[in-house]
């Protein structure tokens, strides 16, 4: 059955992007279009999730072509969890843009590019076709690269060019993997490839080579070691609302792709890949935590922190038990809200300086008079560290329970230890910016960016900490569905 709700999160922002180009001379109208389309996209994503909770897997066949022919959009619980999270954060990003004083957000190209990034992100989450996955990821990448290149930070262009070349390597990996699968199975439909592979007793070598290529591409998109080196510059130099999207939800596209491929297509290779993910996750946790501890920039600190937080998620996926996967999904949702809120809050503080700097040496004491922003940053930092009763605590507990279920005590202990390091660098940064006396190292302005968007996200973090049971229930149901690939395959192909 065709369900048009799946079109909303993709084509509403995409249509709004083209419409905002037509009215580019009217910045107010552009922003109104951006905010309206973001809210409508979020409502559609929520509608898909509610249908999933009623036991439906929504499918939309573009052009009416029956799978495995043509392009199909699929909304199951896994994609819906990611999509609702992404559209929530993206709507908050547009809201932050409305109150931002950055010059780059006033450019005519800014809102169309931001909405294009939103459409690409949602499309990558809902598509049931591996080539369309590539197309949507490239749309997202191109829009984000241009947004970073036009940022107020003079190093933005360098960071954008650097990522563009590195991303081209990931694109090559992804295309080679797609070509290998198509050469073997003569189809691009994820469900159809999974069905054919499951029917083969002794799978050929070509799909295994494709698995290597596609895993490398997806790990690069998520900035996982050893493909991580582009991330700090790219995320730090971006305009604040864009950086908040990049470090919270855009890096999760690769994680989503990993879960989808391991649970539908590469089920035989899953155990080998999961062991690799544990190793890479541990490296990410250690490197990200130590990098954040020693960095010199408040935004760069949060970018390094993303290494560690994605490492936690990879470890959960690598453990592979029901509890660990539930913990990973809960961690994905909560981290997205926490990280975007923290980056926006940092942007609010930086906007009160004449140079809009986020360097810690120049931010000392700048936030001392910003009491409300100080409270937001403190709550976000405690949530990131996993302090109760915030949502980060729910994430850490769910993940540690997964480690106990997997009986992987050393890595579970590392998760606890990394949480303590997170508490250390977030507390230290909060004290440096908001508690120490201002020494006048930079000129401070009385007005800055509006803290409304991060305040709403922090409120969501508190709510999900106090009432975490619904999210845990949805994540548990999603894990039950992805544990049986036939549920996804039959929903798409029928029968």
- pLDDT(355) > 90: no
Q: Counting Cβ atoms within 10 Å, is residue 420 exposed (0-12), middle (13-18) or buried (19+)?
A: exposed
> What pLDDT digit, counting tens, does each position of 122-146 carry?
999 999 899 999 999 999 999 999 9
- Hey, what are 285's tokens? 């946790």
Share above pLDDT 70 across residues of the chain, in percent, rounded to a whole number: 99
d(CA 165, CA 373): 37
Q: Domain range spanning residue 162?
A: 4-493
Split at pLDDT 50, 70, 90, the class of 336 is: very high
Q: Provide the mean pLDDT of the chain.
A: 88
- The CB density around residue 274, as the number of other CB atoms within 10 Å, is 18
pLDDT value, residue 68 = 80
- pLDDT(113) > 60: yes
DSSP states of 244-295: HHIIIIITHHHHHHHHHIIIII-STTHHHHHHHHHHHHHHHHHHHHHHHHH-
d(CA 113, CA 123): 15
pLDDT value, residue 21 = 92
Q: Is the dihedral of CA 286, 287, 292, 296 positive or negative?
A: positive
Grouping H, G, I as helix, E, B as strand and the rest as coil, residue 444 is strand
- pLDDT(472) > 90: yes
Split at pLDDT 50, 70, 90, the class of 2 is: low
Provide the Cα torsion 230, 232, 237, 241; round to 10°. 110
Reported pTM: 0.93
Split at pLDDT 50, 70, 90, the class of 440 is: low
pLDDT value, residue 448 = 80
- Over residues 97-105, mean pLDDT: 88
- pLDDT(3) > 80: no
- The CB density around residue 64, as the number of other CB atoms within 10 Å, is 8
Q: DSSP character for 329? A: H
pLDDT value, residue 9 = 94
Split at pLDDT 50, 70, 90, the class of 412 is: confident
Non-local CB neighbours of 410 within 8 Å, separated by 6+ positions: none
List the one residue out of 69, 194, 76 whose CA is nearest residue 489. Answer: 194
- pLDDT(24) > 60: yes
| Range of weakest confidence among 379-383, 403-407, 436-440 | 436-440
- pLDDT(39) > 60: yes
Q: DSSP character for 57? A: -
Selected residue with higher pLDDT from 288 and 136: 136
- Over residues 23-47, mean pLDDT: 93
- pLDDT(204) > 80: no
> Cα 438 vs. chain centroid, distance in angstroms?
35
- pLDDT(1) > 60: no
Give the C-alpha distances (Å, rounded to integers) separating 155 from 14, 59, 143, 149, 242: 29, 43, 18, 8, 15
Split at pLDDT 50, 70, 90, the class of 359 is: confident
- pLDDT(442) > 80: no
pLDDT value, residue 338 = 93
> What pLDDT digit, counting tens, does each position of 338-353 carry?
999 999 999 999 888 8
* Total domains, the chain: 1
- Over residues 285-313, mean pLDDT: 87
pLDDT value, residue 495 = 61
d(CA 415, CA 312): 7
pLDDT value, residue 147 = 93
């Amino acid at each position: 059955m065709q369900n048009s709700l799946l079109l909303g999160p993709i084509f509403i922002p995409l249509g709004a992007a083209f419409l905002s180009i037509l009215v580019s001379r009217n910045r107010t109208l552009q922003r109104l279009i951006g905010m309206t389309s973001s809210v409508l996209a979020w409502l559609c994503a929520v509608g898909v999730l509610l249908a999933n909770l009623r036991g439906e897997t929504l499918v939309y066949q573009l052009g009416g072509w029956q799978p495995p022919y043509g392009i199909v959009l699929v909304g199951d619980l896994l994609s819906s969890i990611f999509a609702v999270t992404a559209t929530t954060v993206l709507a908050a990003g547009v809201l932050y843009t409305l109150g931002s004083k950055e010059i780059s957000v006033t450019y005519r190209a800014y809102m169309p590019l931001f909405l294009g990034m939103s459409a690409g992100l949602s499309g990558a989450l809902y598509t049931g076709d591996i080539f369309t996955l590539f197309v949507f990821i490239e749309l997202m990448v191109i829009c984000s690269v241009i947004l970073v290149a036009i940022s107020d930070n003079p190093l933005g262009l360098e960071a954008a060019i650097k990522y563009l070349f590195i991303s081209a390597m990931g694109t090559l990996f992804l295309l080679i993997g797609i070509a290998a699968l198509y050469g073997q199975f003569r189809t691009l439909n994820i469900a159809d490839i999974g069905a054919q592979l499951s029917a083969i007793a002794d799978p050929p070598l070509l799909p295994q080579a494709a698995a290597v290529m596609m895993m490398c591409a997806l790990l690069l998109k998520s900035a996982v070691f050893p493909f991580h080196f582009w991330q700090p510059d790219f995320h730090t130099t971006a305009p604040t609302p864009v950086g908040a999207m990049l470090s919270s939800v855009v890096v999760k596209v690769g994680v989503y792709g990993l879960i989808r491929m391991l649970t539908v297509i590469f089920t035989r290779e899953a155990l080998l890949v999961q062991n690799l993910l544990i190793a890479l996750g541990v490296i990410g946790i250690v490197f990200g935590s130590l990098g954040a501890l020693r960095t010199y920039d408040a935004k760069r600190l949060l970018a390094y922190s993303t290494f560690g937080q994605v490492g936690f998620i990879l470890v959960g996926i690598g453990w592979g038990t029901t509890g660990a996967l539930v913990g990973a999904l809960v961690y994905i949702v909560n981290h997205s809200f926490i990280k975007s809120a923290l980056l926006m809050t940092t942007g609010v503080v930086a906007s009160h300086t004449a140079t809009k700097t986020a360097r810690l040496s120049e931010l000392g004491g700048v936030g001392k008079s910003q009491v409300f922003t100080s409270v937001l940053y403190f709550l976000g930092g405690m949530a990131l560290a996993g302090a109760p009763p915030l949502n980060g605590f729910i994430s850490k507990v769910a993940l540690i329970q997964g480690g106990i279920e997997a009986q992987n005590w050393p890595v579970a202990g590392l998760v606890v230890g990394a949480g303590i390091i997170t508490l250390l660098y977030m507390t230290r940064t909060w004290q440096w910016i908001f508690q120490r006396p201002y020494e006048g190292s930079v000129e401070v302005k009385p007005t800055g960016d509006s803290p409304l968007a991060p305040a709403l996200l922090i409120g969501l973090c508190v709510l999900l900490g106090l009432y975490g049971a619904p999210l845990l229930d949805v994540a548990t149901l999603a894990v039950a569905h992805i544990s049986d690939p036939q549920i996804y395959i039959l929903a798409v192909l029928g029968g």
